[in-house]
Chain A
Amino acid sequence: MAEFSVIGERLPRVDAREKVTGEAKYAADYSLPNMLWCKLLRSPYPHARILSIDTSKAERLPGVKAAVTAKDFGGWTWGWMPATRDEPPLAVDKVRYMAEAVAGVAAIDEDTAEEACQLIRVDYEELPGIFEPEEAMRESAPKVHDYVKNNISVEYHWNFGDVEKAFAESYIVREDRFRTSRATHGYLEPPAILAYYDPTGYITVWASKQSPYFHYRHLAACFKLPLSKVRVIQPFIGGGFGGTKNDSLAGDFCAVLLSKISGKPVKYVESMEEELVTSRRRHSMIVYSKMGAKKDGTLTAIHHQVVADGGGYTAVGPLSLYLAGFATTLPYRLPNFKYDAYRVFTNNPIGAAMRGHGITHTRFAAEIQMGMIAEELGIDPVEVRMRNAIDNPKPGTIYETINKVTLKTCGLKEAIQKVTEDPIWRDRNKTPRKEGSIFWGVGLSGTSYLGGARQMGHQSCAAIIRVCEDGTVNLITGATDCGQGSDTVLCMIAAEELGIKLEDVNIKRVDTAYTPVDPGSYGSRVTILAGQATQKAAREAKRQLLEAAAKTWQVKPEDVEIRERKVFITSDPERSMPFDKLARIACYSGTGAVILGTGYSSYGLEPLDLTNGIGNGGTSYSFTAQSARVGVDMETGKITVTDFTIASDCGRLLSPIQAEGQIEGASVQGMGQTIYEDFIVDRGKTLNPTLLDYKMPHSTDIPNIKLIDIVTNDPDGPFGAKETSEGSIVSTPPAVVSAIHDATGIWFKELPITPEKVVKALKEKL
């Protein structure tokens, strides 16, 4: 008999039908009778003092029902940590980035609300702005916030081993400056909310949030209500990828307050331009990387100095900088590591989280620099990686890095081996290197990402399994599927554990009034943590069912098994009954029990050590090796990516279709940030605030993607699973950059590598 009957099967998503028929409702699709529309007035300056705001003219416009400014929020601010709660719903004394919201209006329709915003008079005193993070750190720079020195919003100094001694003893030491792009999530659903503050003092919202329980806490705090009076009903989410939809926004707070004032439901839908100019995007990071190695390419030390453009507020910045540091000791053995990181306030839009959070920046730098060192030493790119890669720990043993990150499984060496046996790498010198003006190159990378992210506060996910008397099951959890497919994975876990089929398990969207509190969907935590909770809940429900079966058959519960909807005695499979019959027996006979199984996750409970960077940031770690083949047009600088081969150690693929979709999608998103995507920001103003000018990959741009599955079966994940959603957005940039180097002989250190940069670099090389 096969090991599993549901896990590992190529089953479609549980929400696929609703989504292909247009039935799936997203936040902007909800409406209520007598609903008003909210619009925001945004600042035309990146840095300006607000002298006065007059909304009276707007309020007199027919159709306008209410207007709000900062004073209506009573000085409330929020942020990721108590010490960094520096952001108000609407700008109070000054605006700190272009298009920061200063006022909100509710009117009978969107056009009237928009017109009313134009009637609000704001007197500003423009202040000198600061836009480059390194300049912002100077004593003389304009101050974005008064509560910090030199605009430094977050600062870490970690030191492991003795990097100076190691550099002194190294055969080779390189120092390079890298910079990552101003990239954003690029989901197609702009943030939206429908809010109703009802007369009993109870808030109900339908909001596009990938972590609805953050929003639930923010609303309770902002409106000084008990959590039990805040209800976030989760619509379908049109993509998340971290950052914006993981936080609350000006439009959310304004919609709720305007509803409170007007007594009517209020809807707010951001425009794509507002989204693109204000999104809580990936930080652009400058990474000064110093790396030492022995003559044989063995790494001796890394010292990273990071300066991140934080924009106007702190948001999730402390976590971004933590992640950019703690995992630098993966996936290669590193005996000495020093990290000096600065997140710096500027008058740019807010830097925050995005898929591959933190790690993608420093791993890009380290991976490219290792390639440069290998080239100088005359060592093959595969060999330098195999020589340094962490070995897969023997079962029962743990590998610990110098900063005490612990691994129980590591499939990197196997992944590198498989990728380099694949024709894209193996035959790279058999295919033509030049065709007309196109030069071809193939690159390689080996990277890691965390799964089951830890955090500072509430950590556990919970799940409830409710067995219905007809043998179907409701799975209730606070975990959010924002598109990644976690609802399907969780239902598969429940079905596997209970011995039933996927279609027997039903899951609904999160509703904070009914579903258990959950930290959120970020840091690739849902499959591992909500998965563990689901597994435990299903086991608990199954235990109760087996007791009922054992009682019926006069055997012991451990003698009974359930598989594929059939309940049977293990030693005598002929004695059996259908699952639905057992469900009826359990629910009706004897006590007439209600079969409820509950469970919560127990992985990763130790809090993050931000101060010293010691210990784990995740529960487990995925490993990815990737090759990329590119063609560079040496005349125009245009880069075409033709092939990716990606070998992922995700522990075990629970839901192959969903996992493949994650790896493919993340790699294409990674390709975008490597060669296309960048906000052009001139003195705080975004010059390309449309999807036409912010270049994301189209269907005509994508490579052929081949995936290879490396199974390591991690003990700290349901059925051995690790993360699968973010690994390839970390592995893609260095693979593509290495391929461009292979084609052109140039190591590019600043992303994205646009045609202009290629042409310029080729001219400089001549």
Chain B
Amino acid sequence: MKQIRLMVNGESHELSVPPWRTLLEVIREDLGLTGTKEGCSLGECGACTVIMDGRAVNSCLVLAAEADNKQITTIEGLAGSRGKLHPIQQAFVEHGGLQCGFCTPGMIMSAKALLDKTPTPTKEEIRRGIAGNLCRCTGYTKIIESIKAAAGNTEEK
């Protein structure tokens, strides 16, 4: 077992984890943050995307031990105080950027990582920014529109 300290959505957690435990398992099972989804567990679908030290990562491919002392943001950490949606979340709501919602948390985290680095991306940059996140419902069109709309809004926050 390894002792680790994770900063998740601004809260510190001290955990004792076996060396093979993934960050995804810790987030979902130990911390009960089930907003992060498990799709393929092989880094192919992006449903488990979280932001670790500013980068979007597939949490199924990160060992919990590797995340020791890292800053993690999950979908639960995105909305502001009193439940005010983050502009990216708001844009997904208004522009129909979701259907079944299973890819949505990961998709939004990838969008956030993209917009944090590239605040006004082109359509092509958006497509590339979410290329690691599969969505089977929307055909991506409304997701791309949502991110484009959020890019217009993020400066106002």
Contacts and interface: CB of A to CB of B under 8 A. Distances in A.
A29 interface: yes
B96 interface: yes
B76 A187 contact: no
Interface in B95-111: 95-96, 98-105, 108
Contact of B101 (A272, A483, A665): A483
A409 to B, nearest CB: 26
Interface string B129-147: 0110111111111111000
Contact of B75 (A21, A271, A660): A21
B142 A239 contact: no
A693 to B, nearest CB: 9
Contacts of B74: 22
Contacts of A238: 37, 100-102
A661 B92 contact: no
Interface in A1-35: 12-13, 15-26, 28-29
Contacts of B33: 22
Contact of B42 (A239, A269, A668, A692): A692
A401 to B, nearest CB: 31
Contacts of A237: 100
A12 B34 contact: no
A18 B105 CA distance: 11
Interface in A648-682: 657-658, 660-661, 664-669
Contacts of B139: 661, 664-669, 697, 702, 705
A190 interface: yes
B116 interface: no
B89 A21 contact: yes
Q: Which of A21, A186, A240 has the most CB of B within 10 A?
A: A21
Contacts of B142: 657, 660-661, 664
B55 interface: no
A236 B100 contact: yes
A281 interface: no
A700 B131 contact: yes
Contact of B134 (A29, A271, A660, A696): A696
A12 B85 contact: no
Interface in B4-60: 28, 33-42, 44-45, 47
B137 A20 contact: no
A702 B141 contact: yes
Nearest to B102: A238
A83 interface: no
A699 B126 CA distance: 9
B136 A188 contact: yes
Q: Name B's interface SS.
A: loop
Contacts of A190: 39
A669 B34 contact: no
A737 B101 CA distance: 31
A690 B100 CA distance: 21
A186 B39 CA distance: 11
B66 interface: no
A692 B37 CA distance: 18
B140 A20 contact: no
Interface string A228-272: 000000001111110000000000000000000000000001011
A229 B65 CA distance: 45
Contact of B104 (A19, A240, A705): A19
Given A29-B34, A700-B127, A241 B141 contact: no
Given A17-B93, A29-B34, A188 B101 contact: no
A668 B36 CA distance: 25
B100 A271 contact: no
A538 to B, nearest CB: 24
Interface residues of A, number: 55
A372 to B, nearest CB: 29
Contacts of B102: 26, 187-189, 236, 238-239, 483
Nearest to B89: A20
B125 to A, nearest CB: 11
Contacts of A22: 33-36, 74-76, 105
Given A17-B93, A189-B102, A690-B42, A698 B75 contact: no
B39 A17 contact: no
B23 to A, nearest CB: 16
Contact of B108 (A20, A484, A700): A20
A186 B44 CA distance: 12
Contact of A696 (B83, B93, B136): B136
A185 interface: yes
Contacts of A690: 40, 42, 44
B148 to A, nearest CB: 12
B136 A185 contact: yes
Interface in B53-89: 74-76, 78-79, 83, 85, 89
B128 to A, nearest CB: 6
A485 interface: yes
A661 B39 contact: no
B153 to A, nearest CB: 14
A671 to B, nearest CB: 8
A513 interface: no
Contacts of B35: 21-23
Contacts of A23: 35
A28 B48 CA distance: 13
A593 interface: no
Interface of A: 12-13, 15-26, 28-29, 185-190, 236-241, 269, 271-272, 482-485, 657-658, 660-661, 664-669, 690-692, 696-700, 702, 705
Interface of B: 28, 33-42, 44-45, 47, 74-76, 78-79, 83, 85, 89, 92-96, 98-105, 108, 126-128, 130-131, 133-144
21 contacts: A18-B101, A20-B75, A20-B93, A28-B34, A29-B34, A188-B136, A190-B39, A239-B102, A661-B99, A661-B142, A664-B138, A664-B141, A666-B139, A668-B140, A668-B141, A690-B40, A690-B42, A698-B131, A699-B135, A700-B128, A702-B127
Q: Across the A-B interface, give the 3 residue pairs with the lowest CB-CB distance, nearest first.
A: A22-B35, A483-B100, A238-B102
Given A483-B100, A661-B96, 11 more contacts: A12-B93, A22-B34, A188-B134, A238-B100, A483-B101, A484-B137, A485-B99, A658-B96, A660-B142, A690-B44, A699-B128
